[in-house]
Structure 1
Amino acid sequence: MAVSVLTLLTLAACGTESGSGSGSGDGSGTVRSTPPVTGVRWGVDSVTVGGKRSAAPAGAHVEIGTKGRASGSYGCNRFTAEVRIDGDALTVEPGTTTEMGCEKDIQRFETLMSRAFSGRLTAAATDKKLTLTTAKGDTIALTSQPPAPLTGTDWRITTLLSGSSVSSLPAGTEKAARIAFGKDGTVHGTLGCNSFRGKAAVNGSAVTFGPLVTTRKMCPDPEMRLERALRQVLDGKRTTYRIDRRTLSLTAQGGKGLGASAAE
């Protein structure tokens, strides 16, 4: 898949640089240059099926490997798939996906995305945009995304971690929790119900949280369950963090943790 898309990008007009004897053939005396494709996280903007466009949820993305393998997220569940290359076309083979329960609207998008990102596709790229088109004319629109830094990023909490297990947030709280780290060593956000602020000392891949100051509202059970789970990770704990492009994971010493995506 990477080879196929890289070939297409090489043919696309993505920039210019001076050259001699190898111009573009249009009399401009320029040589085409292209952005890298492999190792880039492509954020999914939308899927258009039957002429109807559906915007992608935060976190939906595709990453293209160098050996004909694609992986990513439909918006809630993650997937992997093998890809066969045939010139400028690619064929996405049936792959694997996680099976977490998702919010109704996200589940609907995941169904559309999984059906579109399968079988024989053609690819077209311009600058930082990529479009994949099915044989029926349905399309997936994508944009390359730079890595997100820990500080200065609005992180939307998307999953709960317990050891090697990953679970979705309680139903109805999928957009309720966020966390942001300041360059001045502060942290703030929402726990699902109450907002919070405090200190967060970053040292290498570790973050040590000071006591959190929170509001004291009482909320419905799903929000309170989420809040209790997040406090096990953040309240006065030393955690380790890892960023994979635009995905953050925080894991406390006892194995409890959270996963988050950079808000778009």
Structure 2
Amino acid sequence: MAPAKKFLARMSIRSTMIAALAVTGLQPASATASSTVGPPGPTPAATSAPSRPAALADVVGNDWRIDRLTTAAATWDTVTNAHIRMPPNGQVYGSLGCNSFFSHVTMNGTQLTFGELTTTRMLCAQNERAFEVALSNILSHHTFTAQADGGKLTLVADNGNLIHLSRGPLAHVTGVQWQVNTLTTHGVSRRPITSAHISINTGAHQARGDLGCMTAFSAPVTARGEQITFGRLSTSDVPCKGPDRTFRNALHGTLHEHTFTTELHNGNLTLTGTDGDRIILNPSA
């Protein structure tokens, strides 16, 4: 499956070489030249990891929440919806906590080597920025050994830094407001006349948003593997006419009690229904 918090500014993809650290410890306040502060109160921690190697088949194809980072200098607890996903095609993508990223990964035996990171450029809160600078420097151009501990995963870097992760269904979907770009039903494609958006929280099993024409909705959702199922939609009662009404009703009918396969590509999300209907969404600017 191809390659993914709300964007606070215009998304502009850039390819940026993030320098790999030559030391085993990462200083939170000076991980890169552009980072001058760290998150409040990083706690000193010694690097240690589970002892059982993980099969790469268990790592690839799953969504992993990033729980914390451990370096010789400190432990960094995640500050937001940081996650990582590695499809079996050699690509890797996810969220650094504020900005999304994309890269390539080389797999050799039990080891993973990450390449250059391509990231979005957004305005981020101070603690989010500090966390993602630390994560970027740990990930970029380093080789990791994957070690498992139940539903947890630890990536042990060649310089001793650790990334602690836990399995989470569709982590790349959660925590983002997705703007509806195109709705295709029965072979007919439509674009919203007024803003339509969807936010999904798989942890809370809930979705909410706007169907267009200022019609708010909420619905229960369940996630399993790469699929997400919407339950019965509850909507606000807003008068609507013409093309707005046509689009709103079509989106309601597409979402209502339907199951979709999710696909993330270059930061955009596609929901494909079992009947072939499709919704293309972009992260909100």
TM-score between both structures, scaled by the size of structure 1: 0.50
Q: Which has the larger radius of gyration?
A: 1
More strand by share: 1
